[in-house]
Chains A and B, each alone.
Chain A
Amino acid sequence: MKLTAQQLKNKIKPILGKNHNDPAMLVSILQDTQTELGYLPRKALAEIHKELNIPLTQVYGVATFFKAFSLEPRGRHQIQVCMGTACHVRGAEKILDTVERELGIMPGENDKDLRFSLETVNCVGACALGPIVIVDGDYAGEMKIDKVKPLLKNYK
């Protein structure tokens, strides 16, 4: 999805309005921008810097500080594999291996057609269901190696 400068402006304007154009709401603004665009493009950060009249260094500093923000394009679907203690003892390692092999990517990477992004998390608080894989916020519990492929098929 390539956006023109004007389209980007139109997307960011309401986000800023929702946050009262308040520089103190920078984290919230960046979160909303990432939800809207999937990641934080360089031009979006520049736009926020201009509209809020705060230094670009501040926007960039915050955007790089939090791991939840991505400055690189991410896949349409976010896969999180839980590597917490409970999931670990129930074989999360093998589940992760399977997902990696299935998609041909490592945690922190996107696959070639930007369908999936893969990352690991350390406990999502649903240990009784371990090992857990979360795709776009939907929990898939009690994962098994041969359940990985059918699960990923549901996401285009």
Chain B
Amino acid sequence: MVKLTIDGRQTEAKEGAMVLDAARALNIYIPTLCAHESVSAYGACRLCTVDITTRSGRNRMVTSCLYPVEEGLAVKTTTEKIAAHRRMLIQLLLARCPESPELKAMAKKLGADDTPFPKEDPAKNHNCILCALCTRACDEVVGQSAISFVNRGVAREMAIPFYNDSDACIACGSCFYICPTNAIQMTDKNGKRRFVMPHNTMEFELAQCAQCGRYHLPKRQIAWMAKKSGQPLEFFARCISCREEVRL
């Protein structure tokens, strides 16, 4: 175990744990947009920036989601400097996606009413802040890597290959659930699941429950589940409610 202080409070954390997690274990609030316990840390939004002083007396700002705990580390999560830094960051994000309600709420929390920077056209980024939560979820949790970043620099955006190759996608919707700014929309309608991504749309067929007849899962996801679990396809022919009933 590693001993460190966060906002003056002594604490212990496992070696290799990140400062963000150690702070959260103490119920200390650090704002984040791109952090999620299900995927690896990435450091895209940088809102979790904190002030650290190492044992040797070096002082600097780091992203707490990517900084491992150290013996004798002194962390400050809410200094004037940090607050100003976070305000600037959220203002920049807000300039990128000026209409995102989630970013507006975060900005308010961090003490910024509006952004002083020139706002980009909302149709350009479609509320996507390139936090990579969706691509990490698709890669690390689902294991399909159906979406990724394409292009570079200011042209970087999240999309499927060639903007129309959705072969790897199983339509599970993990990206939709994890997106911190709701940049991905998912709707089930008329037996189809439709995704509206920032730069492309996809449509997949849903399967009907053999018993109650409701559309319960995308066909591709069923095939994926059968492959991963080793259960026969017929096992997933009925929806989860109908299956549970039988077991009772």
Whether, in the assembled complex, B165 has its beta carbon less than 8 Å from a beta carbon of chain A, the answer is: yes
Contacts A55-B145, A55-B168 known; A60 to B161 CB distance under 8 Å?
Answer: yes
Whether, in the assembled complex, B190 has its beta carbon less than 8 Å from a beta carbon of chain A, the answer is: no
Partner of B146 from the list A57, A61, A66 (CB cut-off 8 Å) is A57
A42, B162: Cβ atoms closer than 8 Å: yes
A61, B165: Cβ atoms closer than 8 Å: no
Q: Which of B17-25, B29-37, B148-156 contacts A (4 or more CB under 8 A)?
A: B148-156
Residues of A within 8 A of B94 (CB): none
Whether, in the assembled complex, A58 has its beta carbon less than 8 Å from a beta carbon of chain B, the answer is: yes
Q: How far, in whole Å, are A65 and B149 apart by their CA atoms in the complex?
A: 9
A61, B149: Cβ atoms closer than 8 Å: yes
Chain A contact patch, size range: 10 to 19
Whether, in the assembled complex, A134 has its beta carbon less than 8 Å from a beta carbon of chain B, the answer is: no
Residues of A within 8 A of B160 (CB): 57
Whether, in the assembled complex, A64 has its beta carbon less than 8 Å from a beta carbon of chain B, the answer is: yes
Q: How far, in whole Å, are A156 and B84 apart by their CA atoms in the complex?
A: 61
B152, A65: Cβ atoms closer than 8 Å: yes
A58, B152: Cβ atoms closer than 8 Å: no
Chain A residue with Cβ nearest B167? A56
Partner of B151 from the list A45, A58, A65 (CB cut-off 8 Å) is A65
Q: Is the interface of A mostly helix, strand, loop or mixed?
A: helix
Q: How far, in whole Å, are A8 and B233 apart by their CA atoms in the complex?
A: 36
Residue count of chain B within 8 Å CB distance of chain A:
17
B151, A57: Cβ atoms closer than 8 Å: no
Residues of B within 8 A of A66 (CB): 152
Residues of A within 8 A of B152 (CB): 64-67
Q: Is the interface of B mostly helix, strand, loop or mixed?
A: loop
Closest Cβ of chain A to B158, distance in Å, is 10
A57, B162: Cβ atoms closer than 8 Å: no
Whether, in the assembled complex, B147 has its beta carbon less than 8 Å from a beta carbon of chain A, the answer is: yes
Q: B128-143 interface mask toward A, CB cutoff 8 Å, 1 = contact, 0 = none? A: 0000000100010000
B148, A61: Cβ atoms closer than 8 Å: yes
Closest Cβ of chain A to B204, distance in Å, is 17
Q: Which residues 129-154 of A sit at the B interface, judged by CB distance below 8 A?
A: none
Chain B residue with Cβ nearest A45? B161
A60, B148: Cβ atoms closer than 8 Å: yes
Residues of A within 8 A of B145 (CB): 55, 57-58
Residues of A within 8 A of B151 (CB): 64-65
Q: Which residues 117-131 of A sit at the B interface, judged by CB distance below 8 A?
A: none
Residues of B within 8 A of A64 (CB): 150-152
Q: A35-63 interface mask toward B, CB cutoff 8 Å, 1 = contact, 0 = none? A: 00000001001000000000111111100
Q: How far, in whole Å, are A57 and B167 apart by their CA atoms in the complex?
A: 11
Chain A residue with Cβ nearest B145? A55
Residues of B within 8 A of A61 (CB): 148-150
Q: Which residues 54-100 of A sit at the B interface, judged by CB distance below 8 A?
A: 55-61, 64-67
Closest Cβ of chain B to A49, distance in Å, is 9
Most chain A CB within 10 A, of B135, B148, B161, B162, is at B161
Chain B residue with Cβ nearest A49? B161
Most chain A CB within 10 A, of B135, B146, B165, B167, is at B165
28 contacts between A and B (CB under 8 A): A42-B162, A45-B161, A55-B144, A55-B145, A55-B148, A55-B168, A56-B165, A56-B167, A56-B168, A57-B135, A57-B145, A57-B146, A57-B147, A57-B148, A57-B160, A57-B161, A58-B145, A58-B148, A59-B161, A60-B150, A60-B161, A60-B162, A61-B148, A61-B149, A64-B150, A65-B150, A65-B151, A67-B152
Q: B-side interface residues toward A, CB under 8 Å? A: 135, 139, 144-152, 160-162, 165, 167-168
Beyond A55-B144, A56-B165, A61-B149, 4 extra complex contacts between A and B, CB < 8 Å: A45-B161, A57-B168, A64-B152, A65-B151
